[in-house]
């Protein structure tokens, strides 16, 4: 492993390693997010509506961004997208209903019905992504 001779070189070496950590974590995050959505879907089969799989289609993981003093990656559901079925609700509305049970009123003025699935899947995804990051950090920084 190379040795830094000054603070600038040390900072550059650390940022390079952090970028590698985040690239690996971002790849793991895609799987963590998919697993969390599957966790929700495994919570039962609806009889009042047909699943569209939209929650899997709107999962996003950005490229790793290197900043002056760190790196970042965004992992999220595209809440600005809308469903193509029913009253075409926004993903953000359905996400709150599906994940936390927070109801919303449809564009037609009706109360959205509860979704069938396991609640807390986004919290599960965040915990899994945090564990993936810790695992990657331990590999690089012993």
Domain residue ranges of the chain, discontinuous segments joined by +: 7-140
Assign 132 a pLDDT band (cuts: 50, 70, 90). Answer: very high
User: Is residue 121 packed enough to be buried (19+ CB in 10 Å), middle (13-18) or exposed (0-12)?
Assistant: buried
> Which pLDDT belongs to residue 8?
92
User: What span, in angstroms and rounded, lies between the C-alpha atoms of 99 and 39?
Assistant: 11
Is the model's pTM score more than 0.85? no
**pLDDT tens digits for 7-19?**
999 999 999 999 9
Mean pLDDT of the 103-121 span: 90
Assign 1 a pLDDT band (cuts: 50, 70, 90). Answer: low
Answer yes or no: are the C-beta atoms of 34 and 56 closer than 8 Å: yes
Query: Which whole-number Å values give the CA distances from 33 to 27, 59, 75, 140, in the listed order?
Result: 10, 7, 8, 23
> Which pLDDT belongs to residue 87?
85
Mean pLDDT of the 89-94 span: 92
């Amino acid at each position: 492993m190379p040795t830094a001779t000054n603070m600038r070189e040390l900072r550059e070496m650390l940022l390079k390693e952090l970028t590698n950590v985040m690239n690996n974590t971002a790849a793991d995050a895609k799987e963590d997010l998919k697993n969390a959505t599957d966790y929700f879907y495994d919570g039962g089969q609806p009889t009042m509506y047909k699943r569209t799989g939209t929650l899997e289609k709107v999962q996003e993981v950005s490229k790793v961004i290197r900043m002056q003093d760190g790196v970042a990656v965004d992992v999220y559901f595209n809440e600005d997208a809308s469903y193509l079925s029913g009253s075409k609700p926004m993903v953000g509305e359905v996400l709150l209903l599906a994940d936390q049970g927070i109801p919303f009123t449809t564009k037609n003025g009706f109360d959205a019905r509860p979704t069938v699935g396991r609640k807390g899947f986004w919290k599960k995804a965040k915990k899994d992504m945090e564990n993936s990051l810790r695992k990657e950090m331990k590999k690089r920084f012993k």
